[in-house]
Amino acid sequence: MEKIYRVFVYGTLRKHESNHYLIKEARCVSSQSWTNGILYDTGDGYPGMAKSTRKRVYGEVYEVDAQQLEQLDALEDYKGEGQDNLYERKIQMAHTDFGAVEAYVYVYASPIYALEEITFGDWKCHQHLHQNELLYFAYGSCMDDERFKRDRVKHQFERVVGCGKVKNFSVAYTLKAHDGGRADLIESDEQVEGKVYRISSETLTYLYRREGVNDQIYRPTFIDVTIDEKTYKNVLTFLVVDKVKETAPPEHYATEILRGAKGFVSDSYYKKLVDDLYHKFGMKQI
C-alpha cells in the first residue's frame, strides 16, 4: 500500500495560488486549518513561516504521495536534514474542524528579522484584502439589514450580488458570547447558503469592528462561493478564531439570521436553519 503524507500548506501551494497545480490531485483534508507559527512576506512572491508558540498561521492540509512530496521538496528547496536548505521540512500539529493531525510543514530556514510579518497569519488575506472592491459572503446576522440601518452603514451593503452557496461547510454556533452563541462556518459534507455583497475597502473597517477582528474573535478568510451555477473564487467571509462547543444563540440574534435569510435563501435551506435551531437547542421558529 502506497504511503501517504499529510502536508500543511500556507502560501503559493494553496488553492488558486500559483503552485497549487503540484497538489491539485491530492486529497484536501481541511481547507481552513492552522498551525503555530509566524508568517512573513519574503518579498519574492511567496511567504515564509517561522516557529512560534504564540501565533498562528492559516492554511490547508493535504494528503500527498511520495512523488508529490518529492515535488514539494524541490519547490521549497529542501534537500534533506542538515543540508543547506531554503526551507526545513518539519512535523507539527495542524488544527482542523475535524481534530488535530500531524503534518509536514515547510519552515523558512533564513533569518526573518528584516521581513514584514503578514497580518492575520494568512497569505490569502495578504494577497486579497488590499483590493478596492471585494465580494463578501454573509451567512449569519449580516444577512439582515436592520443593524446596518441602525449603524448608518446600509448604503455600504446595497450592492447585493445574489444568494451564494458554499460547499463542504455548515453553520454552527461555536462562539460563546455573554448572552449565547454566535454563528460560524465549520467544515462538513453539507452546504451553506447566504447573501453575497459587493463591498468597497472602506466597509472592512465596519466589518472588522462588528466581527471583533482586532480582538481575535472572528478572522477574515477567503472561500469559493457559487451563485447561479457560477463559482466565484476567493470571496471574503469571517470565521470564529477559537471555536468551542455549540451554544444556543440568544433569541434576538436568531431572529436576525432568520429575518435576513427568509425569502432570500432557498426554502429548503431556510427550513434547515429553523430545524437546526430546534433540534440543537429546542428553539422554536421565531
Check whether residue 100 and residue 56 sit in a common domain: yes
Which runs of E-coded beta strand occur in 2-112? Answer: 5-9, 27-36, 38-41, 47-50, 56-64, 87-96, 99-108
Question: Please, which pLDDT band fits residue 82 given cuts at 50, 70 and 90?
Answer: confident
In a domain, 30, yes or no: yes
**Pairing state between β 38-41 and 47-50:** antiparallel
Q: Which of 126, 149, 169 is the last residue of a domain?
A: 126
The pLDDT of 36-65, averaged and rounded, is 96
Q: What is the pLDDT of residues 237-249, one digit of tens each?
A: 999 999 999 999 9
Average confidence score pLDDT of the chain: 96
pTM summary value? 0.96
Q: Which residues constitute the domain of residue 23? A: 5-126
**Among the ranges given (96-100, 115-119, 282-286), the one the predictor scored with the smallest mean pLDDT:** 282-286
Check whether residue 146 and residue 243 sit in a common domain: yes
Q: Which of 86, 104, 126 is the last residue of a domain?
A: 126
Which runs of E-coded beta strand occur in 118-254? Answer: 133-138, 160-177, 180-200, 218-227, 230-240
Q: Which of 111, 126, 141 is the last residue of a domain?
A: 126
Quote the CA–CA distance of 147 and 162 in Å, as a whole number. 20
Question: Please, which pLDDT band fits residue 286 given cuts at 50, 70 and 90?
Answer: low
Check whether residue 177 and residue 115 sit in a common domain: no
Question: What domain count does the chain have?
Answer: 2
> Catalytic residue numbers?
211
| Residue in 87, 84, 79, 115 with CA at minimum distance from that of residue 9 | 87
Q: What is the pLDDT of residues 145-165, one digit of tens each?
A: 999 999 999 999 999 999 999
